[in-house]
Amino acid sequence: MPPTLTEPPTRLLRRWEIGAVDGAVPLPGRPGRWRVEASGGRFFLKECADPDRKRVLFRHALTAALDAAGLPVLAPVPARGGRTLVTAEGRGFALYPWVAGRTRGGLELTFAQCEALGELLGRLHAELDRLTPPVQQSMLVPTPRAVDAAAAVEAMLAAVPGGTDFDALTERRLRERHALLTGMADHQPPELEVSTVGHLHGSFRARHLRYGGSGNVTAVLGWDGLTTGPVAGEVVRAAAELFACEDDRGLDLDRVQAFVRGHRAAFPLDAGQIQAAVHRAWWERLCDAGPLRDRYLDGSAERAASALVTWWSAHLERTLDAFAAPYTADPAANPAYG
């Protein structure tokens, strides 16, 4: 792989009609990304690391169509010859309008904003369904086995050195997960579920959303993660990312209900599909020992991911009901709504 560029290739930016360029400033912590200042405005330049040119152009065409449909998605700026993927020195580049606005965590949103955000994801799903051909490949994903996850946790237990308070905490957390895996082994979801599948954003989370001063979403970013799969699965993953508390409180189920209600208003999914997706998402987290290893053996992750599994396991039925139940806003009972 070629080394990361510190500045764009000479004369690259002349390929776009953006006026006189004042400079390209590297974005901190984001190699291959620049803020471009030009007389025609401010822009975002990115090097496209994806080697599959056809896939990149498909994403470009799709995001341009979503933008044309009135959704807050940024279309790439065509170069002088009309191309959206420009090559220079053997590398591919794309230019976008600069995004204003701020990021907001899901727990900062009012219930009305949560519902509007769910509706936005539903509108994206509906438009993606309209714009793309039916997904042909099988959506069967093997279900992880609790016995394999339990064996992985046992191996991690054997690797705990012992002797410190953190080692004692690590051993306690690993034994808690092992007990959950053995105690809930009969809760494994079925291998095959009937579900609506299609093209998905792939990474609908707080860091890929920008908000304006009115609290509305001004841009949905992160389209490099475009993928295919069950639509209900993306709804559940998004809600679990957006509305997870950073402690033992687990998921904010009131906000989850508002979000799912908004999505179902724009892209109707029956409750059974959503509950099946909740069941699978919980099970996959339960059987994923990676976050435990990262948190307690490598020290490279936060506690929140493993804490959510414990909470979710203790409140599985309540969570299944919350994702499937219609949400009714009561401003008198819930002052955050509005």
The pLDDT of residue 255 is above 60: yes
Structure tokens given for 219: 């841009």
Fold agreement between 12-97 and 106-143+173-324: no
Q: How far apart are CA 264 and CA 115, in angstroms?
A: 10
Structure tokens given for 18: 């953006």
Q: How confident is the model at residue 307 (pLDDT cuts 50, 70, 90)?
A: confident
> What does the pLDDT look like over 64-85, one tens digit per residue?
999 999 999 999 999 999 999 9
Q: How confident is the model at residue 332 (pLDDT cuts 50, 70, 90)?
A: very low
The pLDDT of residue 336 is above 60: no
Distances (CA, A) of 58 to 26, 76, 184, 225, 311: 27, 12, 42, 13, 40
pTM: 0.90
Distances (CA, A) of 230 to 140, 278, 337: 10, 12, 30
Q: How confident is the model at residue 1 (pLDDT cuts 50, 70, 90)?
A: low
User: Who wins on pLDDT, 260 or 90?
Assistant: 260
- Token look-up 């799969």 returns 229
> What does the pLDDT look like over 109-121, one tens digit per residue?
999 999 999 999 9
Average pLDDT over residues 316-334: 72
Strand, helix or coil at 188? coil
What pLDDT is recorded for position 327? 54
| Residue percentage of the chain with pLDDT more than 90 | 74
What pLDDT is recorded for position 335? 37
Q: What is the mean pLDDT of the chain?
A: 90
SS3 letters for 56-85? HHHHHHHHHHHHHCCCCCCCCCCCCCCCCC
User: Who wins on pLDDT, 306 or 182?
Assistant: 182
Average pLDDT over residues 271-295: 92
For 12-97, CATH number? 3.30.200.20
Average pLDDT over residues 37-54: 92
Structure tokens given for 159: 């690797």
Helical (H) or strand (E) element with 89 = none
> What does the pLDDT look like over 129-159, one tens digit per residue?
999 998 875 556 788 999 999 999 999 999 9
Average pLDDT over residues 179-201: 89
The pLDDT of residue 325 is above 60: yes
What pLDDT is recorded for position 299? 66
Q: How far apart are CA 178 and CA 286, in angstroms?
A: 10
What pLDDT is recorded for position 328? 55
Average pLDDT over residues 298-324: 83
- Token look-up 């912590």 returns 29
CATH homologous superfamily of 106-143+173-324: Aminoglycoside phosphotransferase (APH), C-terminal lobe (3.90.1200.10)
The residue extents of the domains of the chain are 12-97, 106-143+173-324
What pLDDT is recorded for position 333? 41
The pLDDT of residue 246 is above 80: no
Backbone phi, then psi, for 319, in 5-degree steps? -70, -40
What pLDDT is recorded for position 192? 64
> What does the pLDDT look like over 191-245, one tens digit per residue?
766 788 999 999 999 999 999 988 899 999 999 999 999 999 999 999 999 999 9
Q: How confident is the model at residue 300 (pLDDT cuts 50, 70, 90)?
A: low
